[in-house]
Each structure stands twice: as structure tokens, then as C-alpha cells.
Structure 1
Amino acid sequence: IMHLPFRGRLKLLVASLTAVILLTWLYLLAGNLENGRSLLLSPCLSETPEARVLERAVLESRVREMEEENRQIRLQLNQLQGTAGQPADGGNYGNAAWGASADTGPEDVENTAEERANHTECPRSPTVLKCELVFFSCLIHVACVCAGHNASRDVVTLVKSILFHRRNPLHFHFITDAVANQILSSLFQSWMVPSVQVSFYDADELKSEVSWIPNKHYSGIYGLMKLTLTKALPSDLTKVIVLDTDITFATDIAELWAIFRKFTDKQVIGLVENQSDWYLGNLWKNHKPWPALGRGFNTGVILLYLERLRRIGWEQMWRLTAERELMSMLSTSLADQDIFNAFIKQNPVLVHQLPCFWNVQLSDHTRSEQCYTEVSDLKVIHWNSPKKLRVKNKHVEFFRNLYLTFLEYDGNLLRRELFGCPSQATSESVRLQGALEELDEDDQCYDFRRERITVHRVHLYFLQYEYTPAGDDTDVTLVAQLSMDRLQMLEAICKHWEGPISLSLYMSDAEAQQFLRYAQASEVLKNRKNVGYHIVYKEGQFYPVNLVRNVALRNANTPYVFLADVDFLPMYGLYDYLRKSVVQLDMANTKKALVVPAFETLRYRLSFPKSKAELLSMLDMGTLYTFRYHVWTKGHAPTNYAKWRTATTPYKVEWEADFEPYVVVKRDCPEYDQRFVGFGWNKVSHIMELDAQEYDLMVLPNAFMIHMPHAPSFDISKFRSSPGYRYCLQTLKEEFHQDLSRKYGAAALKYLTAQRNI
């Protein structure tokens, strides 16, 4: 049927509907023959009273089945005529697009008036037009309020747990501040999960709605914003599941969505009873909580029937409730939860109580053990405690392991397609698929070329980041990249460089959590807030070194950047010296790349030189060497170390083949060429392009950096041991030269000539 033209499909469905109605009528007529005898039962059986009861039950069951088939065919007609093919709103991310009104769950078969108006039912067993029904009728909407760096990390674990179990398309609605918006929008764009759509809403625009409410809870003003969702979310969105960021799913979220169909006509909110004694007021002497119905309800998991809430005037009702209670309570203690509970106390008919396993609350004063007897009972785990994994619960180790599973789970595995149906691809996924199809799988360098078009997940600002721009427009960010085996360099770099730093870390999900624990335990790192840590998640068989560098470069937020490597320690005071050099050399109005001379030590313990004079003395004594003097002299020879020894003013040097100095440039400099992965030519190609763009290479006379020893990387080992690796690197070099010539014309011919003369 999917291969028929639209008009043909429509005619076929109309004919099917007519035939089913006719058959139903004939069947009912047959069922009402003399003595009520059914065609399904033999005459002898139908003579007894028990048989007649059974006969009637079978008949009623069959009628219901026929009615359900009729309803599904009507739904398919509606899908063909209206809902199917509606484009998604612009500015959203994902690998599928759906109509805005498609918001009914997989078990939602009871056809209320508002549901019939929206045509959003999801059939239990769609056998016709399966893919269309799945994508347009089973979309589940999830909303979260997320603000700041820590909440952005938490929400990723929540999303992983949902994606792991889900079998439905999802639409996430995030109420975010600017920080969370930047982090999550970048993450979902690069994650590219099929059948997931994401929308963002500016929390700043909602602050005025709740800023008048004093709140003692650590969540602050953002802890009150769930009250505003009827206003914040699209007006045609009828239902949504609202979740706190400290939630972990242990089952398919579609099961929770299906509970909407169990609401009575008057119910508008679904909640789990509070599992602590907070609202009973007996936790300590003179404890006076907000009013609540019995134990009250926890708002970590909420089913909001938005359409009905708008109809009853939710915005006015919760405001009146809050104003009335604040006259005596003065402030909220549990943010939105207090106001929801006071509202429910006055309007108990509006709440649908969810089974408690939909919000197993883990904190020191809960009775969550009463919610489950078997592991299979668990649906949603709520870590509603600032102490997270250290709460008092006899099964906390089990819950902890469940949480850690998703915390460290490889997010790349969640990019799987759903249902065996093709996703409605985004332009980016179409472009990537086209690029992949153009590759020759028989090419010896296929793996290198594929790496260039691989999209890596990126989590920006993985840790808290605070930076106040300098007022004189001379600020410089140190830009570098690293993997897990260079983690020990971070503390030393922070001691040597007091300015802002932008670091990209190439890690797996599990390694990222190890890094988090390392950083939080380090007195040096946890006190430095002007370091931006950006996680680029591992994928593929090569280290995408230039892609990782570019992530750090793009997210530097100062006018100038110092492009370094993490295994170098800058001289003490280099940050201030570079800022002065920026002014001295008028970098704001000229194209210059300031070269910081590089040296190295072969000793793991080094008394770091405090001045140029001390460094020269160590150089003469053989404690230090010019960088790669023993193995790759040409990489830094054009720096002219002999001249640098006596220089007192900056001097210009000319580009030479294989020159790869560490430089200070404007932030809008060319990015690194991402075809170069692993070891070889990743910095050389960048300096070549700076020269092609006519940057002057100026060596700074009183600046230096020192390379610290470490074990060889895995990539350099592959380069040394694999002829195929070296062949492909040479091939990529030649292709880079060709691209450079096309981009910069005849001026780029000197690079090709220089390479041939080596």
C-alpha cells in the first residue's frame, strides 16, 4: 500500500472502511437471529443459559474488535489527509521531523473529544502504514528545566537512560539558561540521534513569572519554572512528561506516557506520592511545611495534561494559591513542589496518583523501599538529594550501579534507528551519507578519509566555567587538547598560566567521568574557574587531533589565542608577557603570529627556569635542549635559536618546510585541517595556511615553553611501525597541497616546491 500513489491509497482505505462497516452490520444482524444464536457457536451449545452468556460475550468482543479496526482505518485516513508530512519547526535538532500535534502515547486508544480533534491516537498494533503511524502518532514529549554546567551534565545521564529503553520518537523540550542552551544545543547537534527532536526555551523570559516567589531551596529560581510550562511550551502541545534532571529511567518511557489515558475527565496532573514525612510536619520540632494532601506529592516526575490545565486557568490558579500561602509561609522550602501541593490540597479531584515505582525517591528521609519488592518493579529512580550517591537506603549500591551504568554508557550506541523504519533525515545526515557513499572502500586510505567525515559528540563546558572579559581587548586564551594519558599535566599548566584556558579532551564516556572525579578531587583544578573543559567523545580508530584542537579553538572567548600543546609548560609570567606583546606589536591592526620558542627536557623532574638567563644556562649545561633537536630539527629550526639567545626585540622569520612553531594569533585565525588525524603534519599544515594568508611570523625574545617527557603516544607508534600509515599520510599531504593551490593560487606553489626539495 505504501507504494501506491496518494489518491490510490485514499481510495483503497475508503473501500476498506466501507467493507468493514458492511461486514460489521451483517455480523450484528446474524448475531440477532432467532434465540440470539451466534454464528460462532454450535446450535446445541447455545441452548443453555451459560452458553448464551458466553455467546453474548464473544459477540460483544468481536464487535469491539471491529470498532477498533474501523477507528484505526479512520486514523490512517486522517494521517494521509492531514498530519503526515508536516515539517518540524525550524531551530530544532534531531534526525526526524513530526507534526506539532502528534503527542499521544502508544497505549492511547480511548478516544476523548480533544484527542479526536487532534487526531493523535496511537494504534496498539498498526499493520497498515506502520512507519507513518509510528512517526506521526507515537511521539512522546518530555520537558526539563536545566540551568548551568552541573545540571547539563545530569540531564545527559537522564537522556541516556530514556534513549536506552525507548521505542518511540521523542521530542525534548528544555527550559534553559544561556549556559545550558549552548551546551545542550551543541551536544544534540553533534549527537545526531535518529527520531529525536529538541526544542529550547529561554528561561530568562520566564523569570518574571516566578521571581516574586521567595524560595529557600537550592534550586533557586529555576526550581519554580515548572509552574510556567503551560505558558512556556507551544500552545498546541496537549500533554507532556516533566522530569527533574536527577532522574534515571529503568523502563521504556512509553509506559509512563500511556498513563495519560487512565486520567478521568477532570484530572490534569499525574504525580507520585511523596515518600518522605516532610509534609506530615513531624521531622523536627516546630516543623511547619506547606499544606498538602496527606503525605503530599513529589514533583520530580509529573504528567501534565497541558490542554486541560490551560482550560481551567492554571496560571491564575497556581498564582492565587502561592499568594495566599506566602502570606503565612513567607517562602517556599521545596520550590515548585510546595505550590503544586497547596494547589492539590484545594483541588484534589484534579490529581491522578501514579504508582510509586514511577518516582522511587532516594534521600535520607524517604520510605522508598516500600515501592518495590523486585528489581522488575522499578521504573524511575529519583536521586532527589544533593548528596547524590551517598543517600541512606539499603539498596543504594544497586541503585548506584544502575546510575553509573548510564553515566558511563557509550552515547554513540544510542544513535540506533527505531522500528526498522527510515528516519526523516536532516540535511546534515543526508550530507554525511552522501559523503560516505562517495568514498571508495577499496582505497588503501579509506579509514583515514572516513575519519574526516565522522561526527563526534561534543559536550562543551563539562565543568563549571566563569570568565570575565578583560577591558583592554588584549586577553589571551591558552588553547590545547589532550587525552586521558596526559591528564597529569593539567595541574602544572594551571600553576604556570593564570589566564583563561580552553581545553578539548578526547575521551570515552567512562573516561570523562574519571576526569570529572579527578578534577573535583584536585585542589588546583577545582579552584580554577576560567578553564573551559570540552569533551570530544571517542569514535573511530584514529585520534582526530585537529578536530579536537578546533573544538578548543572555537570555544576560546578572548581576542587572542596561544595555540599550544598540553605537554608543554609555559614560562612563569608568560600570560602577562603575551598581553603586553599584543599591544607592542599592534596585533589588533596587523596579521601577525607570535612565535613562542620551544625547548625540552629529558628529565621527569626539572627545576623550572625562572628567567631567560636561567634557561640559557641550563641549555649550555645540557639540562635543556631546543625542542626535538635529536629527532626532528627542521620542525623548529626556523625559529633561529642562535639569534634568540641574544635578541631583545621581536624578530621576523620566514616560513620553511615542516615548520611547526607554537604561536599566538587572533582568535579568527584559520582552523586546523581535519584530514590530518593521529600523528603527522597536523600542526605543519596549520602554520602553512597561516603563511599562505600572509601572517608575519614574529619570534618573541623573552618567551619560552618547555616540553615535559612522557611515553610515546599510540599514534606515533602506529606511524613508526606501519608502512600503510606512512603512505596514507604522504597521500594526504599531497592532497592538502593541491587544495592549498586551488585556494590561494600561484602564491601557494612555493609549498609544493619546498616539499619536493626535502
Structure 2
Amino acid sequence: SLVLYGRSLLLSPCLSETPEARVLERAVLESRVREMEEENRQIRLQLNQLQGTAGQPADGGNYGNAAWGASADTGPDDVENTAEERANHTECPRSPTILKCELIHVACVCAGHNASRDVVTLVKSILFHRRNPLHFHFITDAVANQILSSLFQSWMVPSVQVSFYDADELKSEVSWIPNKHYSGIYGLMKLTLTKALPSDLTKVIVLDTDITFATDIAELWAIFRKFTDKQVIGLVENQSDWYLGNLWKNHKPWPALGRGFNTGVILLYLERLRRIGWEQMWRLTAERELMSMLSTSLADQDIFNAFIKQNPVLVHQLPCFWNVQLSDHTRSEQCYTEVSDLKVIHWNSPKKLRVKNKHVEFFRNLYLTFLEYDGNLLRRELFGCPSQATSESVRLQGALEELDEDDQCYDFRRERITVHRVHLYFLQYEYTPAGDDTDVTLVAQLSMDRLQMLEAICKHWEGPISLALYMSDAEAQQFLRYAQASEVLKNRKNVGYHIVYKEGQFYPVNLVRNVALRNANTPYVFLADVDFLPMYGLYDYLRQIISLIIHCITIPVGQK
């Protein structure tokens, strides 16, 4: 009996004595030997790669290039094949060294309408690759809290928990620090995470909102296991010359260790940070440096780097591919020319996608992939992990199971229990309530084919407007570009745009209209089809009528 590719090949005792049988037997054995040699070679390659990633020295060291090194007993052919496989991306993905179904915690500081929109793309990229349950921790202002809580509640992604923390309660912790960075006071909030997050949370991945993941976040979470007993913070080296102080004449940055570290991606070992007195330590560092520096230029990053300069043993340097920084004047190209497997792209520039980088088209396409990706496809259950279904999802599943698929109205009944994702206030929104309780909001709903009506409506109605737009993820981005390019729309801040994402084959007109109606912030509303243009001055006229009504003044018949 011989085994060929896992299958038994039985030869008759009589046949096995013939020359033909011996030739066949030799061929089968030779084939099996070649197969075993190939399997051994693949195993050696995988061992080498694991030694270069999961087996990094625990002392921190320079992770960036060593991750791709070969072990001492690797032969020349193996080194050559490793490089070839790396270039062609043919190797199997390496399994993260974390427990199956281990809960991964991610924290973000998110404030305002624009950041709330940006963080959705980050979340999509994480959900696309993930194989573990996730718990997102958002430090938000009131605006972002309203937007994101509504979004996640309607998104209903399995095995995803979301918690919110009031940024207003943390402002006093950092408001005393003068900061020139465009992120304002929220750019300092990451310093307060040991206090803001639950005391029983031991570790967390902290991310900026302008991050895009190209791999499973579990790989990053696994790096916590490589920390030495003293290390408490994991960071990627800064890829610009900022902290070297040579960008312009008289440039004086905050103190940093070498090139310094970028805080767009941070591994925070919260338990250890609390143990060493992190809150007091960063405060003392900031107070000392502000005596000469007067203010921060890069917000929390300056304070983190000054702290690390004084306590270098506490930092664990991450490989450069965990934070490929695409701001102007960076040396990120050096990272992605030496490493073929990039993990995280960071648009850390005020210009974001308009940054100057000769490879920016490649990175922009990666970002756009998740920007326009259908978020409904991310509602998939995790294989092999216990279901963490909410009471609402259980109720909906029960209602779905009660439907009769042979019912002629099955599609309509199914649509009725469908939960649509809703992104409130997709664009900047500002509204100041009128003082006389007579204000009125124009309420309407529309889809992509009525987009051209928006400018005319805004010209005819100067009051607040609440619009619900029934669109796909890709169409929502088309609308965003249209609104940002329109001189009329971009100058109107009292228009609330609420995206109801498409799902199913029907147009849920009442549901979409109700989203616009519920988010009108005035005592009165004026419902209209989006095809109708209100007459000029109708807003003021309606307010006059409302004033007359609430003051119980009788209007003579026939008088307008």
C-alpha cells in the first residue's frame, strides 16, 4: 500500500512483482519525496517569518526591518524564496498570536461632524479584515455622540460593542495646555485615556480618525504580548524630520528620542500606566517643557515624546508599516520600499488626500475602497465565536423567522422589519433656535436623481431644512463631493443632511421621511416633496402665521 497525496494506493500482490508495478511504485515514491521536500521547505519559510515577526526580541529594538530577516539556519535558497514570495504576496496570511475570539479594544477621540464622517471609513477598514469581537471606545463631544450612537445602533454589526465618553468632562484635564495644532483641545485628549476609560480595562489600541487598516487589527493587538515587563507604550517612529529640528531656520521642536514617535497609532498598556502614575508623570513633563516651549505644536504627540525622552525604557517601538505616515515632508517612502506588507495608512496632514506623495494614488485608492464600501456587507457573524446578539437583533431575527416565504407579500413584509443604517448630520450643521418659538423647518426626502433640486430649495427657503437622502455608500460620497463643490450648499450651515443607506429592493419613503422629520429642531415643520419649490419669502410668511395662531389672533376670512 502506497500513499499518494493523502490517498491510499493499493497494489495487487501479483501485480507488484511485475516490472510495470515496480516502475509505478518508484514513480509514486519519488513524487511523495518531492511533495515532502516541498512541505518541509514551506514549513521552514513559515518558521523564518514567525521568527521575524512574532519572535522579535522583547527589548524593543528597531522593529522596522528586522521583521523580514532570516534565521541563522536558513539556507540561501530559502532566503531567495522568502524574498520572492514576499514580492508576489503569495504566502498564506500569518495567524495572529492572540486567543481565538479574544475581545480587542480600540479607542478614538472623535469630535464634530467631519471627524464623525471620517471615523466611519476607519471602522469599515477594521471590520473588513477583523476575525475577533471588537469594543470601540469613543471620546466624543455632543455632536459626535449623537451621530455615532445612532449610526452603530442602526448598523447592528454582530460582535461589536460601542461605548461613549463625554469629552467635556475631560477638557479641564488638558485645557491648561496652550496648543497650536489644528485639532485644538481634542488633540490632547489621548493623554487622559487612563482616566477616561474604565479602570478594569487593561490595554487598548488608540487610533486617529484618519487611519486606514490594510490587515487584521488582531495582528497589532498581538504585539502587546511582546512588551517587556517595563514597556507601557507601543509607537512607530516619526517618519518626518520634525523632531530633528532642521525643517527651517530657528525651528525648535519639543524634545524627542531621535526622530521621535508618531501618536496616530498607539498601544497603551493602561494597567501598567496607571501603576507607574501616568497622569502625574505626563503633567510634570508638560509643565516642565512649557516653561521654555510655551505651547505645543503637535498636541499630545509633543508631550508623549518629551515623556519618552525622559523614560526611553517604557516605549516599545513598532515596525514602520503599522503607521505609514502620508503627511508632507515625511520619509514614509523609505518604509514601503523596504517592506512589501503595509498594515496601516495614516493620512496625517491637514490636506488629507491632497497630500504630496508620488505614490499617493495607490494609497488614495485603498482609502476610497473603504470609503465607498457597502457597510451592510459588514453585518456578518464571526465564524467560530459565540454570538453576541443584542435584544433588538434577536427580536428582528424572530420576526424574520415568523415570515412565510410562500406569502405573495413576503418581500414587502421583510422590508418592513429591515433596519437601515442611518448617518445623521452627514455635513456640518449649525442651528441657533429662534427666541419666539415660531421657527419652522422645511422637511423633505430625496434620492440621488433629485440632487439637482437642493440648490434651488436653499435659494427659496432661508430657514432651517432637514433632508433625508436615500443613498448607497458610494452615492453618499458623490453627494459629499457635490455639496462641497456647490457655492450655495457649502455656505448654508442650517441644513441637516441625514443619510439613510440603501438596503433591499424597495424605496422606504415613509421611513426616510420620518428620519428627516425626527431630526427637525424647531417647534414647527413644513413637509414638502423635494420636487416642489417654496415661493420666495414663504419661511418668513409661515412664521408670521404661526405667531398669529399662537397668540390667538383671528385672521379674517379671505385675508392672506
Secondary structure at 2:236's aligned position in 1? strand
Q: Does the C-alpha gap of structure 1 residues 124 and 76 become closer, same or farther in structure 2, counting only changes over 3 Å?
A: closer
Equivalence for 1:48: 18
* Alpha-carbon displacement from aligned partner over 1:331-369 (angstroms, at most 9, x marks no partner): 000000000000000000000000000000001110001
Structure 1's 273 and 70: CA in aligned 2 closer, same or farther, altered over 3 A? Answer: same
Structure 2 contact 469–512 (Cα < 8 Å) conserved: yes
Note closer, same or farther for the CA distance 1:100–1:496 as it changes in structure 2 (3 Å cut).
farther
In 1, the alpha carbon distance for the partners of 2:120 and 2:484 equals 19
Matched, 1:238 2:208: no
Structure 1 residues 343 and 176 mapped into 2: Cα distance closer, same or farther (>3 Å)? same
Contact between 1:94 and 1:192, CA under 8 Å: does it hold in 2? Answer: no
Runs of 4+ displaced beyond 2 Å: 31-132, 373-376, 753-758
SS at match of 1:130: coil
Separation of aligned partners in 1, 2:63 and 2:395: 15
- Deviation readout 1:491-550 (Å, 9 max, x if unpaired): 000000000000000000000000000000000000000000000000000000000000
Give the CA deviation at 1:373: 2.8
When residues 442 and 354 of structure 1 are mapped into structure 2, their CA distance, relative to the original with a 3 A threshold, is same
The 1:122/1:305 distance shift into structure 2, 3 A limit, reads farther
Task: Single out whichever of 47-56 and 310-319 deviates more from structure 2.
Answer: 47-56
CA distance in 1, matches of 2:59, 2:392: 16
Match of 1:480 in 2: 444
Q: Deviation digits for residues 580-604 of structure 1, max 9, x if unmatched?
A: xxxxxxxxxxxxxxxxxxxxxxxxx
CA contact (8 A) 2:97 2:222 kept: no
In structure 1, the residue matched to 2:62 is: 92
Tell me which structure has the larger Cα radius of gyration: 1
Distance change >3 Å, CA 167–CA 97, structure 1 → 2: farther
Aligned counterparts of 1:506 and 1:35: Cα–Cα separation in 2: 54
Give the match for residue 31 of structure 2: 61
Task: Spell out, residue by residue over 1:366-408, the C-alpha distance to the aligned partner (whole angstroms, 9 max, x if none).
Answer: 0001112378421000000111111121211000000000000
Alpha-carbon separation, structure 1, partners of 2:494 and 2:11: 80
TM-score (norm 1): 0.59
Cα deviations by residue, 1:411-460 (Å, 9 ceiling, x for unpaired): 00000111244512211011111111121111111111111110000000
Cα separation, partners in 2 of 1:68 and 1:395, compared to 1, 3 Å: closer
Q: Is the 8 A contact 2:62 2:317 kept in 1?
A: no
Q: Is the 8 A contact 1:357 1:378 kept in 2?
A: yes
- Structure 1 residue 248: deviation in Å? 0.1
Measure the CA separation in 2 of the matches of 1:223 and 1:181. 17
- For the structure 1 residues 462 and 48, does the alpha-carbon distance in structure 2 shift closer, same or farther, using more than 3 Å as the test? farther
SS of corresponding position for 1:38: strand
Contact 2:403 2:413 in 1 (8 A): yes
Bigger mean CA offset, 540-549 vs 117-126? 117-126
Cα distance in 2 between the residues matched to 1:105 and 1:431? 59
Equivalent residue for 1:365, pick from 326, 329, 335:
329
**Runs of 5+ unmatched residues, structure 1:** 1-30, 133-138, 578-752
The answer (yes or no) to whether the contact 1:95–1:193 under 8 Å persists in 2 is no
CA shift at 1:215, angstroms? 0.4
1:535-684 → structure 2 map (5 Å cutoff): 535-577=499-541
Q: Is the 8 A contact 1:103 1:238 kept in 2?
A: no
Q: Structure 1 residues 469 and 118, CA, compared in 2 at 3 Å: closer, same or farther?
A: farther
Identify if the C-alpha distance between structure 1 residues 83 and 36 changes in structure 2 by more than 3 Å, giving closer, same or farther. Answer: closer
Contact 1:102 1:120 in 2 (8 A): no
Paired residues of 1:104 and 1:140 also in contact (CA < 8 A): no
Q: Percent identity?
A: 97
- Distance of aligned partners of 1:327 and 1:492 in 2 relative to their CA distance in 1, 3 Å threshold: same
Preserved contact between residue 37 and residue 43 of structure 1 (Cα < 8 Å): no
- Preserved contact between residue 497 and residue 572 of structure 1 (Cα < 8 Å): yes
Matched residue SS, 1:451: helix
RMSD, aligned CA: 12.0
**SS of the residue 1:77 aligns to:** helix
Query: Contact 1:108–1:122 (CA<8 Å) still a contact in 2?
Result: no
Aligned equivalents of 2:19, 2:289: Cα separation in 1: 62
- Aligned partners of 1:464 and 1:529 also within 8 Å: yes
Q: Is the 8 A contact 1:96 1:426 kept in 2?
A: no
Name whichever of 242-251 and 56-65 sits farther off: 56-65
Q: Cα deviations across residues 307-343 of structure 1 (Å, max 9, x unaligned)? A: 0000000000000000000011110000000000000
The answer as to whether partners of 2:51 and 2:71 remain within 8 angstroms in 1 is: no
- Aligned pair in 2 of structure 1 residues 335, 530: CA closer, same or farther (>3 Å)? same
Matched-pair contact (CA < 8 Å) for 2:49–2:70: no
> Against the structure 1 CA distance between its residues 233 and 499, is the aligned structure 2 distance closer, same or farther, given a 3 Å change threshold?
same
Cα pair 1:85 1:98 within 8 Å, conserved: no
Task: Provide the rounded CA distance (Å) in 2 between the counterparts of 1:444 and 1:34.
Answer: 54
Deviations 1:185-225 (A, max 9, x none): 00000000000000000000000000000100000000000
C-alpha distance in 1, partners of 2:97/2:192? 39
Give me the whole-angstrom Cα distance separating, in 1, the residues matched to 2:256 and 2:327: 20
Contact 1:362 1:381 in 2 (8 A): yes
Alpha-carbon spacing, 1:262–1:119, altered in 2? closer, same or farther (3 Å): farther
Counterpart-to-counterpart distance in 1, 2:399 and 2:65: 17
- Report the counterpart of residue 92 of structure 2 in structure 1: 122
Q: Which residue of 1 aligns with 2:160?
A: 196
Q: Given the superposition, is the C-alpha separation of residues 84 and 344 from structure 1 closer, same or farther in structure 2, using an over 3 Å criterion?
A: closer
1:388/1:85 Cα in 2 relative to 1: closer, same or farther (>3 Å)? Answer: closer
Asked whether the equivalents of residues 477 and 500 of structure 1 are also in contact (C-alpha less than 8 Å), the reply is yes
For the 8 Å contact 1:228–1:315, the answer to whether it is kept is yes
**2:62, 2:441 → 1: CA distance?**
31
- CA-to-aligned-CA distance 1:15-47 (integer Å, 9 cap, x gap): xxxxxxxxxxxxxxxx99999999999999999
Deviation digits for residues 123-143 of structure 1 (CA, Å, limit 9, x no counterpart): 9999999779xxxxxx00000
* CA distance, structure 2, for counterparts of residue 49 and residue 514 of structure 1: 73
Change (3 A) 1:119 1:572: closer
Distance 1:434 1:88 in 2: 50
**Residue 53 of structure 1: CA displacement?**
39
- Deviations along 1:125-181, one digit per CA (max 9) or x if unpaired, are 99999779xxxxxx0000000000000000000000000000000000000000000
Q: Quote the Cα distance in structure 1 between the aligned partners of 2:65 and 2:439.
A: 39
**CA distance 1:505–1:340, change in 2 (3 Å):** same
Q: Quickly say closer, same or farther: Cα 1:385–1:94, change in 2 above 3 A.
A: closer
Match of 1:219 in 2: 183
SS of the counterpart of 1:33? strand
Give the superposition deviation at 1:77.
31
Pick closer, same or farther for the CA change 1:116–1:349 going to 2, 3 Å. farther
1:381–1:203 distance in 2 versus 1, CA, 3 Å: same
Alpha-carbon distance change, 185 to 96 in structure 1, aligned in 2, over 3 angstroms: farther
- In structure 1, the partner of 2:48 is 78
Q: Secondary structure at the match of 2:504?
A: coil
Secondary structure of the structure 2 residue equivalent to 1:416? coil
Q: Is the contact made by 1:93 and 1:188 (CA closer than 8 Å) also made in structure 2?
A: no
Q: Greater CA deviation, 200-209 or 421-430? A: 421-430
C-alpha spacing 1:99/1:354, structure 2 compared with 1 (3 Å)? closer
Distance in 1 (alpha carbons) for counterparts of 2:270 and 2:383: 28
**Closer, same or farther: CA 452–241 of 1 in aligned 2, 3 Å:** same
Deviations 1:667-716 (A, max 9, x none): xxxxxxxxxxxxxxxxxxxxxxxxxxxxxxxxxxxxxxxxxxxxxxxxxx
Contact 2:458/2:488, CA 8 A, preserved across alignment: yes
